[in-house]
Amino acid sequence: MTYGTFDMFHIGHLKLLNRAKTFGDRLIVAVSTDEFNLTKGKKTVIPFEDRCEIVKNIKSVDRVIAELSWDQKIQDIQNYEIETFVIGNDWTGKFDFLKKYCNVIYIPRTEGISSTDLKKKLK
């Protein structure tokens, strides 16, 4: 399982999802809703429904769910019987509290690309 906003979908997102899939036999991706992103101070360019549709159509993704809050991760892990939680290494240490529920793996981000950087270039 992994979580993300996946705004302005780019090669870094694709690599993250493909790498995440290698840690299990299925990959569930929680996509942050527009409302949840606003609570994080993020304004998305691509609407939630469209971001979900994009992520659903990636070969390595088996299921997409909505991320509504920071607090849902433990419940998601239990409800979907998740064995491994995968997230970019820019979050290293932030999700260690999940280690009592599943394996937590921080993987390297793709250098040189991020949605934030793309948004800055567009301004």
Verify whether residue 21 is a known catalytic residue.
no
- Among the listed residues 15, 21, 40, 94, the single catalytic one is 40
Of 51, 86, 83, give the one whose Cα is nearest residue 65: 51
Closest CA to 59 of 6, 14, 23, 8: 14
Give the span between the Cα atoms of 19 and 7, in whole angstroms. 19
Cα end-to-end distance, the chain, whole Å? 33
Is-catalytic flag, 100?
no
Catalytic residue among 15, 21, 42, 59: 42
Two tokens, residue 68: 């509504």
Provide the pairing of β-strand 84-88 with 63-67: unpaired
Could you tell me if 86 and 21 are in contact, meaning their C-beta atoms sit under 8 angstroms apart?
no
Q: Write out the catalytic residue numbers.
A: 40, 42
